[in-house]
Structure 1
Amino acid sequence: MGSIDRYIFRTTLASFALVLVSLTGVIWITQALRGIDLMTSQGQTILTFLGITSLVIPALILIISPIALMIAISHTLNKLATDSEIIVMNAAGFSPFRLFYPFFYATCVVALLVAFISAYLAPDGMRRIKQWDAEITADVLTNVLQPGRFAQLDKNLTIRIRERLPGGILAGIFIDDRRDPNERVSIVAEHGDVVKNENGTFLVLRDGNLQRFELGKRDPALVTFVSNAFDMSKFGNQGHDVTLGIRERYLWELFSPSEDDPVYKAVPGQFWSELHDRLMAPLYPFAFAALTFAFLGAPRTTRQSRNFSIGGSVVAVFGLRMAGFACSVMAVKSPAAAAVQYAMLVAAIGAGMWLIVGGIVVEPPAGLMEAINRSNARIARLFGRPAAA
């Protein structure tokens, strides 16, 4: 790879990284705001909230990466054209196909990233989200214990909390424990929090008092405490099983699903549709790169407009992506839709490479440009201004 190739390669990847981080950050924030109730209603900490919401980032990168690559290639080519570098390289003997080399190398890097995320990282993040969510949902201390309600965890055990404070702190705790037939224990505490360790799950009560009514005694025993641990291990349900959905399966699990898998038995079409989506994910960067370069990579002078080429590349890329989404939906019931999607990708890559190798400049038809010029002239006369040449 020569110095020019390295320069274009670095510029493209740097632009790709900037666009990818920006778009992913914006979309991640919009997705994360939907889960804000995880902290407010269930009393989770900010670290738990950020941990769960950040696990969706690989899935976002999987979709955004080809689009970010298209924007990066467009930016790099526009920069080279504005500085007349494409004209100089063309005059020095660089054909459009030769100029495509560094963009192809950058596309290979993006395709490898997409393949790794598609096969392992994205499903791993999704299954971690599901497991984490199941643990929170199964935890009685975050779901059954609702502020202002008396929760009967056992036949003879009742707990009430007044409110949840930031950081998972419980305020105004009342416990009525009658599980021992020989005594009744009532506990009132100002605050408390949940502690989980290898010994189990405990509700650590702080600044409260305990009244013990023993059978055969008239007066209760009153104990004031600064800290007291109440065992809640029986109600933690730590061994909650999670059924993995299709998007939580690794690529190799989609290749050979078990015949006894209940999800596979219920929706086999979705399994194969997801498998084809994963296999085609690394092909989209090549299709997007070929189409974008085909529209914008030809040498032009600074006087020639690039607006049509930019608009044409955007329409071609987003049209291909939308058609791909439609085929993915239809592939659930019709396997032929997956074949159509493969054909579209191969056709897009082939058409782009044909334009690049042939050095064909994609320009609007002359009739269209004349119609636009006539329209501009009429608008100029309507407003009493001379039309631009």
Structure 2
Amino acid sequence: MGSIDRYIFRTTLASFALVLVSLTGVIWITQALRGIDLMTSQGQTILTFLGVTSLVIPALVLVISPIALMIAISHTLNKLATDSEIIVMNAAGFSPFRLFRPFIYATCVVAVLVAFIAAYLAPDGMRRIKQWDAEITADVLTNILQPGRFAQLDQNLTIRIRERQPGGLLVGIFIDDRRDPKERVSIVADHGTVVKNEGGSFLILEDGNLERFEIDKRDPALVAFARYGFDMSKFSNQGHDVALGIRERYLWELISPPDDDPVYLQLPGQFRAELHDRFMSPIYPFAFAALTFAFLGAPRTTRQSRNFSIGSSILAVFGLRMAGFACSVMAVKSPFAPIVQYLMLLLAIGVSLWIIIGGIVIEPPASLIESINNANARLLRLFGRPATA
């Protein structure tokens, strides 16, 4: 790799990283705000909130990476054109395809990143979200116990908490336990926390009183305690298996699912669509890069407008991606839709390479330019300021 190639390669990857981090950060914030109830209504810590919401980042990067690459290539080519570097390199003997070579290197890096995320990282993050969400939302201690309400966990067990505080602290706890027919236990505690370990789930009560009524005794037994453990393992979801969806499967699990997999038996079309989406994920960066360079990579003088080429490249990339989404939806019912999607990507890459190798400059038609100029002239006549003496 020569010095020019290294310069373009570094500029493209630096722009790609900046755009990727920016877009991912913005979208992640919008997604994370939807899970803010983990801290407010369910008493989870800020670390739990950030941990759960950050697991969706690989899935976001998987979708954003090809778009970020297109923006990075557009920025790099526009920078080279503004500084007249493309014209100088073309005069020095650089063909458009030779100029495209460092962009291919950058695209290969992005494609490897996308392939790794699609095969392992994104599904791993999604299954961790599902497992973590099951532990948080399906557990009775975080789902049923709502502040100010009497929750009847069993026919003869009632619990009430006054409020939740940050860090999972439960304040103002009342427990009425009548599960044992020979006695009735009432517990009042100032506060408590939930502890989970290998032995199960326990509600650790602090600074409270325990009142025990036994059938054969006239007076109740009253005990003041500083710390008391109330077993809640029966009402916890700890140890329950979490059913994995299609997006939570690794690539090799989609390629060869078990014959008795109930999800595969019920939704074979969605398995097929997801599998082909994973295969095509690293192809999209090459298609986007080729399309972008085909519109913007040809040498132009600084007097030639690049607005039409920029707009055309955006429309081409947008149309290709929307068509890909449509094929992914149709692939659920039709096994031929993925074939159409593969052919569409290969056609986009092939036509783009033909334009690049042939040195074809994509310019707007003369009739379109004339129509735009006439429209501008009419607008100037209608809204232009009158001449002053």
TM-score of the superposed pair, with normalisation by structure 1: 0.96
Distance 2:101 2:277 in 1: 27
Contact 2:127 2:244 in 1 (8 A): yes
Q: 1:134·1:240 contact (CA, 8 Å) conserved in 2?
A: no
Is 2:47 the counterpart of 1:47? yes
Residue type of the alignment partner of 2:219: D
Partner SS, residue 217 of structure 2: coil
CA distance in 2, matches of 1:239, 1:197: 11
Between the aligned partners of 2:345 and 2:185, the Cα distance in structure 1 is 70
- Greater shift in the superposed pair: 171-180 or 125-134: 171-180
Contact 1:138–1:240 under 8 Å retained in 2: no
CA distance in 1, matches of 2:149, 2:217: 31
Moved more, 47-56 or 100-109: 47-56
Per the alignment, residue 151 of structure 2 pairs with 151
Distance 2:237 2:19 in 1: 43
CA distance in 1, matches of 2:383, 2:140: 72
Which residue in 2 is equivalent to 1:311?
311
**Structure 1 Cα separation of the partners of residues 230 and 279 of structure 2:** 52
CA distance, structure 2, for counterparts of residue 179 and residue 330 of structure 1: 55
Query: What is the Cα deviation at residue 240 of structure 1?
Result: 1.2
- Which piece of structure 1 moves more, 66-75 or 124-133? 124-133
1:219 is aligned to: 219
User: TM-score scaled by structure 2?
Assistant: 0.96
Kept in 2: contact 1:43–1:165 (CA 8 A): yes
Measured in 2, the distance between the counterparts of 1:147 and 1:332 equals 44
Q: What are the equivalent positions in structure 2 for 1:81-92 lying under 5 Å apart?
A: 81-92=81-92
182-191 or 279-288, which moves further after superposition?
182-191
Secondary structure of 2:228's match? strand
User: Quick check: 147-156 or 59-68, which moved more?
Assistant: 147-156
1:103 maps to 103
Within 2, Cα distance between the matches of 1:52 and 1:223?
Answer: 41
Residue equivalent to 1:295: 295
**Matched residue pairs, number?**
386
Aligned to 1:21: 21
After superposition, the C-alpha distances for 1:294-320 in whole angstroms (9 at most, x for unaligned) are: 111111111110000000100000000
Three-state SS of the structure 1 residue aligned to 2:167 is coil
Following superposition of structure 1 onto structure 2, how do residues 1-389 of structure 1 map, counting pairs within 5 Å? 1-384=1-384
Q: Which ranges of 4 or more aligned residues in structure 1 deviate by more than 6 Å?
A: none
1:362 is paired with a residue whose SS is coil
1:126-145, Cα deviation, whole Å (9 max, x unpaired)? 11111111222331111122
Q: Which residue identity lines up with residue 254 of structure 2 in the other structure?
A: L
Provide the alpha-carbon RMSD of the alignment. 1.5
SS at match of 1:279: helix
Residue 123 of structure 1: SS of its match in structure 2? helix
Aligned partners of 2:382 and 2:180: how far apart in 1? 94
Deviations 1:61-84 (A, max 9, x none): 110000000000000000111111
Counterpart contact for 2:8–2:76, Cα < 8 Å = yes
> 1:138–1:238: 8 Å Cα contact kept in structure 2?
no
- TM-superposed CA distance for 1:385, in Å, is 5.7
Q: What SS class does the counterpart of residue 204 from structure 2 fall into? A: strand
251-260 vs 351-360, which moves further: 251-260
Cα drift, residue 161 of structure 1: 1.1
CA spacing shift, 1:180–1:297, aligned 2, 3 Å: same
Match of 1:305, SS?
coil
Amino acid at match of 1:371: S
- Aligned sequence identity (%): 84
5+ residue gaps in structure 2? none
Please report how far the alpha carbon of residue 7 of structure 1 lies from its aligned counterpart in structure 2 after TM superposition. Answer: 0.7
- Distance in 2 (CA, whole Å) between partners of 1:353 and 1:3 is 24
The verdict on how the C-alpha distance between 1:383 and 1:144 changes in structure 2, with shifts beyond 3 A counting, is: closer
Q: Distance in 1 between matches of 2:198 and 2:265?
A: 38
Describe the superposition over 1:332-379 as per-residue Cα deviations: whole angstroms up to 9, x where unpaired: 111111111111100000011111111111100111111211222222
Measure how far apart 1:200 and its partner are: 2.4
Please give the alpha-carbon distance, in whole angstroms, between the structure 2 residues aligned to 1:370 and 1:252.
Answer: 56
Structure 2: how far apart are the matches of 1:181 and 1:262?
A: 43
- Conservation of the 8 A alpha-carbon contact between 1:135 and 1:240: no
Paired residues of 2:200 and 2:238 also in contact (CA < 8 A): no
- The whole-number CA distance in structure 2 between the counterparts of 1:20 and 1:311 is 21
Return the offset for 1:383.
3.0
Measured against aligned partners, the alpha-carbon deviations of 1:241-288 in whole angstroms (never above 9, x if no partner) come to: 111111111111111122211111111111111111111110000000
C-alpha separation in 2, matches of 1:271 and 1:237: 29
Amino acid in structure 2 at the alignment position of 1:279: F
